[in-house]
Amino acid sequence: MKFLITIGILLSCNLLYSQWAPVGAKWYYGHFPQSPNYLTVIESVKDTLILNKNCKELISFTIYAQMHPNGSYTWDTAYCLPQYIYDDSNRVFVYDSVYNSFYMLYDFNADAGDTITVQDSIFYDHCNNTFPYNVFQYRINSVNDTLINGISFKVQTVSTTQNSGWYITDPYNPQGYYPIILEKIGSFKFLFGVGDFVEGSVSYLRCYEDNSISYHAPDWPNSSPCNYLYTLPTVINNAERLSKNIEVFPNPLTYESLISLPELLQHKEIIIDIFDVQGRLIKNLIGLNSNQLILKRGYFRAAGMYFMLVKSGNYLKSIKLLVQ
């Protein structure tokens, strides 16, 4: 009798641990280098029925720094439309409101070498922005197991295929996070995947928590809470004028370009980080006691769009750079 009770408890526990997105579950994500950093949160808020599937409704929002005309900052919040998700036979499906159907986001039955095609026709991102994408696809490179709170979960090491315009993982972003999908939690990049890198976009998983497990990502400092936000600068002197006076010429860059600094940034330490569209740090430049910095075509392996983050004290400016 005790044996049967024990079996029943174990089965109940395994069912609880394997459930995807139970109500109250939260994912916390950091962003590409910003000043201050943004925070994106996904939360499972209720059960609902869609197309006869028992789904969880997920809301997602981003807390970001809003700059005011006087140069001061306050936190603001941007919300996305709800998303709907369900799991069946160790697969996770997300509702597509455009086609009124579900697509498979994760397959934890997949083996190493399998390719997962999530979308192969026009779709829009999880926040229903207007820019369309065509292919969302990734490859399973290896499958292993890991323990979370003493429970074994599958880990898929993955890579985005060459044809994909939507990314389930980012093995090369500046934060050093891992190209993996974790059962129960999803991609370390972002639960729904992301498009091309833009200023402020999601970069990495910080934490996941629900009523049965609590997971702290390996590279997120244990001393920092999952919902940590940096202290906002109160005033950035002459921010509006400074932002208009940084110039890069020529842009597009073909051989050499000059970064011209405004007077109030001259003779100060200037740090410029250059990222590609996948968030990889390509080059770091440091200038001191100068009014110009030189960009060389040799800094870049390939033509395309890049992003420069110009920092000096409390000043921060992001600039797009096209390399030919």
pLDDT tens-digit series, residues 231-281: 776 554 444 444 446 778 888 888 888 887 776 666 677 778 787 665 666
Give the pLDDT of residue 316. Answer: 67
Give the pLDDT of residue 208. Answer: 96
**Single pTM value for the model:** 0.69
Residue 130 identity: T
Bridge-partner residues for 258, per DSSP? 249, 294
- The string of pLDDT tens digits covering residues 184-223 is 999 988 999 887 654 456 778 999 999 989 999 887 888 8
Asked if the model's pLDDT at residue 314 lies above 70, the reply is no
User: For residues 201 and 29, what is the distance between their CA atoms, to the nearest angstrom?
Assistant: 10
Buried b (16+ CB within 10 A) or exposed e, 176-210: ebbbbbbbbbbbbbbbbbbbebeebbbbbbbbbbb
204, 30 Cβ separation under 8 angstroms: yes
